[in-house]
Amino acid sequence: MHTFGRRGYRVASMEEIAGLAGVSKPLVYLYLNSKEELFTACVRREARALAASVRDSVDPRLPADRQLWAGLTAFFTHTAENPDGWAVLHRQARTHGEPFALEVAAMRDEMVARVASLIGAAAREAGTGRTPELAARDMTGLAQALVGAAESLAGWRHEDGTVSARDAAATLMNFAWVGLGELLRGERWTAR
Amino acid sequence: MHTFGRRGYRVASMEEIAGLAGVSKPLVYLYLNSKEELFTACVRREARALAASVRDSVDPRLPADRQLWAGLTAFFTHTAENPDGWAVLHRQARTHGEPFALEVAAMRDEMVARVASLIGAAAREAGTGRTPELAARDMTGLAQALVGAAESLAGWRHEDGTVSARDAAATLMNFAWVGLGELLRGERWTAR
Amino acid sequence: MHTFGRRGYRVASMEEIAGLAGVSKPLVYLYLNSKEELFTACVRREARALAASVRDSVDPRLPADRQLWAGLTAFFTHTAENPDGWAVLHRQARTHGEPFALEVAAMRDEMVARVASLIGAAAREAGTGRTPELAARDMTGLAQALVGAAESLAGWRHEDGTVSARDAAATLMNFAWVGLGELLRGERWTAR
Amino acid sequence: MHTFGRRGYRVASMEEIAGLAGVSKPLVYLYLNSKEELFTACVRREARALAASVRDSVDPRLPADRQLWAGLTAFFTHTAENPDGWAVLHRQARTHGEPFALEVAAMRDEMVARVASLIGAAAREAGTGRTPELAARDMTGLAQALVGAAESLAGWRHEDGTVSARDAAATLMNFAWVGLGELLRGERWTAR
DNA sequence: AATGAATGAGGCTTCATTCAT
DNA sequence: TATGAATGAAGCCTCATTCAT
C-alpha cells in the first residue's frame, strides 16, 4: 500500500489504494478500520523495517565509529531501496497529524538515543579524562545533528542518484567524525 | 495566514483561514485567487524571510567559520521566532505537491550552495596543499549534511524549548567544525 | 450592455458587464436595481427596436404581399445588424425564466398577430368567396409558421453569412406565398 | 433527469436533479461525471430520440409530400409527448455553451438536409423541366424555413394545447406545399 | 470471504449584492 | 455622483465510510 509514499496521505484515496492493491474497498475496511489506521499501520511497518535494518547491521562488539559506519550504511541502503517507505516516514507521517508523527517520532528518538549512547561510548573509549563535561544533552544534540545530516544526505542521494550508500556514509563519517576543521587540514576517516 | 503552519495545507480550510484572519472567504479570493496561490504566497514569503535573515547576518569579510557561525545563529533564531513559517517551509511545502516543493527546494539549494562555497573558502584558507582532492560534489555533500543537521537541530530546539539559538549553533559548530573525533579528544570550537 | 448577447445571461457577471461598460458595479445598481431588471431592460429595448424597425418599414397602404415583403426584409436586416440583440431576444430571453420570456413573447405575439391580420387582408383581397372557412386560428397558425420560418432563416443567415436580407426575404416569400407545390411547378413570387 | 427541461441548465442544481431522481448527489457523479456530461447525455438522448421518431415514421418509397407529411406529424407528436426533451433541445442546449449547441445543431442540420433532399426529390417528381435553377442553396434555404416553421408551430401547440399533431402538420403542409397565394385562392393540400 | 451500490459531510470557488466613503 | 471593499448564499464536486447481498 505504498501508494501513500508516492501520492501523499491526503491525495491517496481509499478507492485508489484498494484498486492498486487489487481488492475492493470494503475489504480494506474489514481488515483495517479506517484510513487513519491503515496509514498508521503503514507508518509503523516502515518504521520497524528501517529500525530493524539499521539495528541488524550493527555489531555492538565493534568500536563506536565502526558501529556508526555500519548503521549509516544500512540506513542509506534501506532508504534507497525503499524510497516509498522513506517518503512515508520522512515526509508524509510527520506532516499529517499527531498520531502518525508520534509513531515516527518514537522510532527516530530511539535512533537518536542509540547514536547518543554511541557517542557516549566513544567518549569513554577515547576517555582521556579531558571530556567529563560532555553532558547527556550535549550528546543528544550531537546525535540529533548526526541523524538530521543523515536524513538530508538520504534525500540528496534520492535526487542525485549517483551517490552510493557507502559514499554517503563516508561523507557523513568524515563530516562528523573527523570534523570539517580536521578534514580541511587533510585528515580522512577511513572505513578500515 | 500561518494557519497553514499549525494545521497543515490540506486540513486548513479556506473557511478557517479567512475566519482566523478576521475576514470573509470571498475577500481572501479577491486578493489571492485560490488556495494554491495563497499557499504559494505564504511559502515564498517565508522562504524569502528566512533566506534574508540568514544572508543579512553574515559578513562576507569574516573568516569562513565565523560566517558559518553567524549564519547558523541567525537560522536558529529565525526558525524559533517563526515556528509556523518554519513548519510551512520544512513540513508542509515539501509534502504537498510539486509547485510548493520546488519553491522551497530552490531556497534550500541556494543555502546548500552557499554553505558549500563557504567550505570551499575554508579549504583555501586552511590551504596547506594537502587537500586538493576535495571536489565540488564532496563539498555539496558536506553542505547537505550540515544543512540537514541544522534542520534537525531546529526541530529539536522546537520540542525541547530550553536550547538557545547559540547553544544549537555551538553544538553544530562543534559537530561540524571540530568533528566528533576531535571533540571527544577534548577539542572545542569557540565563538571567539 | 450587449455582453448578454455574446456571453449569455448566466455567464455574464455583473463585474464583466460593468467593466465593459466602463463604470463601476455600484453605479449599475444605482440605475438598474438588479441583474434581473438590467436584463429586462435590455430585452425590452431590443424587442422595441426590432418591432419598430419592422413596423416602420411597412406601408399599410400597400397590398398584403408587399407589406409582408417589406416587413421580412426589415426583419432580416435588423437581426443581421444587431446580432447581439437578436441573440438576447431569440436565445437568452426565452431560456432564462418567465419574466424575460414574457417580455419577448409579447413582442413576438404582436408580430404574429400582425402577420395573421396581413393574411386575413390578403384573403379579403383575393376574396373569390371560395375561402370563407379560413378561421382566425388557421391564420394564427399560418402566421406562427411564417414567423418561425423567418427566425430560422435569420439564424441560417447568421451562420452562412453570404445570404443577403433580400435573398432571405425572397426565399421566404417564395416558400410562403407561392408554396412549394407551385414553386416546383416553376412559379415565382417577384418583388415587383 | 428532465429537470433540465423544466428548470433550465443553470438553475437546475445537481442537488435538485439528484433529489427529484430519488438518489443522492454522489450517485449521480458515479454514473455521469459532471454536470456538463450529464447534460450532454440528456441532449444527445433527446436528439437521438427525436431524430429516430421522425426517421422511423417516414417511408422513403412514398412520394415526397407524403414523406414530409409523415415526418411532420411524427415531429409534432414527439415534441408534444416529450415537452421537456423538446425544451432541452430547442431552448436549453442552444443557449448554454458550444458543446451542447453543437450536439443539437448536428441533429438539426441533418433534419434540414433531409428536408432539402425531399424538396429536391419533389422537384424531380414534378419535373416539368421548368425548374432547373432550384440550386442546392435554395433548397437548403427552403428547408431551413420549413424546419423553423415546424419548430415555431411546435411551440405554439405547446402553449395553445388544443391543436393536434395532425392539425399542426396540416397547417404547415398547406403553408409550405400549397403556398399562401394558392391557399388564399382556395387550394388545399389534403392528406390523401 | 468479498463487493457493488450508495451517501453524509465537507471543501473550494463564484457571484449578485451592499456598505462606507 | 461614483466606487473600493466586503460578504451571504449557493453550486459543483470528492471522499471516507457503510449497507445489502
Q: Quick one: cell of D45?
A: 438522448
pLDDT at C102 over 50: yes
Q: Which residue among B126, B144, B172 sits closest to A153, beta carbon to beta carbon?
A: B144
Report which of C45, C51, C65, C31 is spatially closest to residue C2, judged by C-alpha positions. C45
Sign for the CA dihedral angle at C55, C56, C62, C68 comes to: negative
Give the domains, in start order, of chain B with CATH numbers: 41-184 (1.10.357.10)
C-alpha–C-alpha distance, residues C3 and C29, integer Å? 17
Taking the C-alpha atoms of B98, B100, B103 and B107 in order, what is their torsion angle to the nearest 10 degrees?
-110
Q: Across residues A154-171, what is the average pLDDT?
A: 92
Does the beta-carbon distance from A144 to B156 stay under 8 Å?
A: yes
Q: Across residues C130-134, what is the average pLDDT?
A: 49
Q: What is the pLDDT of residue D101?
A: 95
Q: What is the pLDDT of residue D127?
A: 59
Q: Which residues of A78-109 are buried (b: 16+ CB within 10 A; e: fewer)?
A: bbbebebbbbbbbbbbbbbbeebbebbbebbe
C: neighbours with 3+ CB pairs under 8 Å?
D
Q: D152 or A136, which is more confident?
A: D152
C-alpha–C-alpha distance, residues B68 and D3, integer Å? 70
Sign for the CA dihedral angle at B45, B47, B53, B57 comes to: negative
pLDDT at D53 over 90: yes
Integer distance in angstroms from CA A19 to C1' F19?
A: 20
Q: Please state, for a pLDDT cut of 70, what percent of chain B lies above it.
A: 88
Tell me the per-residue pLDDT of B157-175, one tens digit each, with 9 for 90 and over.
999 889 999 999 988 988 8
How does residue C58 score in pLDDT terms, banded at 50, 70 and 90?
very high
Q: Which residue among C138, C148, C185 sits closest to D126, beta carbon to beta carbon?
A: C185
Tell me the per-residue pLDDT of D138-150, one tens digit each, with 9 for 90 and over.
889 989 999 999 9
Under 8 Å between Cβ of A125 and A64 = yes
pLDDT at D133 over 80: no
A: neighbours with 3+ CB pairs under 8 Å?
B
Mean pLDDT of chain A: 87
Q: What is the pLDDT of residue D177?
A: 74
Q: What is the pLDDT of residue A189?
A: 58
Question: Which residues in chain D have their CB less than 8 angstroms from residue C137's CB?
Answer: 163
Q: Please state, for a pLDDT cut of 90, what percent of chain B lies above it.
A: 67
**What is the DSSP secondary structure assignment for residue C62, as one 8-state letter?**
S
- Residue A27: which nucleotide is closest by CA–C1'? E2
Mean pLDDT of chain D: 87
Integer distance in angstroms from CA A110 to C1' F5?
A: 54
C-alpha–C-alpha distance, residues A113 and B152, integer Å? 14
Nearest protein residue by Cα to C1' of nucleotide E1:
A27
pLDDT at C192 over 50: no
C-alpha–C-alpha distance, residues B89 and B92, integer Å? 6
Chain C touches chain A, with at least 3 Cβ pairs below 8 Å, answer no
Integer distance in angstroms from CA A24 to C1' E4?
A: 10
pLDDT at D73 over 90: yes
Q: Which residues of A14-32 are buried (b: 16+ CB within 10 A; e: fewer)?
A: eeebbeeeeeeeeebeeeb
C-alpha–C-alpha distance, residues C149 and C168, integer Å? 10
Within window 22-61 on D, which residues have Cβ closer than 7 Å to strand F? 25-26, 29, 33-36
Mean pLDDT of chain C: 87
Does the beta-carbon distance from C180 to D92 stay under 8 Å?
A: no
Q: Quick one: cell of B176?
A: 561540524
Q: Across residues B7-18, what is the average pLDDT?
A: 94
C-alpha–C-alpha distance, residues B37 and D23, integer Å? 36
Integer distance in angstroms from CA C10 to C1' F14?
A: 25
How does residue A37 score in pLDDT terms, banded at 50, 70 and 90?
very high
Q: Across residues D15-35, what is the average pLDDT?
A: 94
Q: Across residues A135-155, what is the average pLDDT?
A: 92
What burial class does residue B157 get, using C-beta atoms within 10 Å of its C-beta: 0-12 exposed, 13-18 middle, 19+ buried? Answer: buried
pLDDT at C11 over 60: yes
- Residue D27: which nucleotide is closest by CA–C1'? E6
pLDDT at D60 over 90: yes
Lowest mean pLDDT among B149-153, B185-189, D12-16, D83-87: B185-189
pLDDT at B130 over 50: no
Nearest protein residue by Cα to C1' of nucleotide F19:
A26
pLDDT at A131 over 70: no
Q: What is the pLDDT of residue D131?
A: 44
Q: What is the pLDDT of residue C137?
A: 83
Q: What is the pLDDT of residue C190?
A: 47
How does residue A120 score in pLDDT terms, banded at 50, 70 and 90?
confident
Q: Quick one: cell of A81?
A: 531501496
Q: How far apart are the first and last CA of chain A?
A: 40
Nearest protein residue by Cα to C1' of nucleotide F15:
A13
Tell me the per-residue pLDDT of B46-67, one tens digit each, with 9 for 90 and over.
999 999 999 999 999 998 888 9
CA distance C77 to chain D (A): 17
Q: List the nucleotides on chain E closer than 7 A to a protein CB.
A: 2-20
Q: Across residues B105-121, what is the average pLDDT?
A: 92
pLDDT at D56 over 50: yes
Integer distance in angstroms from CA C6 to C1' F4?
A: 28
CA distance C83 to chain D (A): 14
Taking the C-alpha atoms of D36, D37, D42 and D45 in order, what is their torsion angle to the nearest 10 degrees?
140
How does residue B125 score in pLDDT terms, banded at 50, 70 and 90?
confident
Q: Which residue among D91, D126, D187 sits closest to C184, beta carbon to beta carbon?
A: D126
How does residue C68 score in pLDDT terms, banded at 50, 70 and 90?
confident
Q: What is the pLDDT of residue B2?
A: 79
Q: Across residues C63-73, what is the average pLDDT?
A: 89
pLDDT at C132 over 70: no
pLDDT at A129 over 70: no
How does residue A66 score in pLDDT terms, banded at 50, 70 and 90?
confident
How does residue B26 score in pLDDT terms, banded at 50, 70 and 90?
very high
Q: Across residues A104-125, what is the average pLDDT?
A: 89
How does residue A183 score in pLDDT terms, banded at 50, 70 and 90?
low
Chain D touches chain C, with at least 3 Cβ pairs below 8 Å, answer yes
Residue A29 CB in 7 A reach of strand F: yes
Q: Quick one: cell of C66?
A: 408587399
Q: Across residues A66-77, what is the average pLDDT?
A: 94
- Residue B15: which nucleotide is closest by CA–C1'? E11
Which of A133, A184, A187 is the best residue to mutate to test the B interface, defined by the most B CB atoms within 10 Å of its own CB?
A184
What burial class does residue B97 get, using C-beta atoms within 10 Å of its C-beta: 0-12 exposed, 13-18 middle, 19+ buried? Answer: middle
pLDDT at C178 over 80: no
Q: What is the pLDDT of residue C130?
A: 45
Q: List the nucleotides on chain F closer than 7 A to a protein CB.
A: 1-20
Q: Which residue among B146, B153, B179 sits closest to A141, beta carbon to beta carbon?
A: B153
Question: Which residues in chain B have their CB less than 8 angstroms from residue A144's CB?
Answer: 149, 152-153, 155-156
Tell me the per-residue pLDDT of D161-187, one tens digit each, with 9 for 90 and over.
899 999 899 888 888 877 655 645 545
Q: What is the pLDDT of residue A188?
A: 57
Q: What is the pLDDT of residue C134?
A: 60
Nearest protein residue by Cα to C1' of nucleotide E9:
D26
Lowest mean pLDDT among A66-80, A104-118, D118-132: D118-132
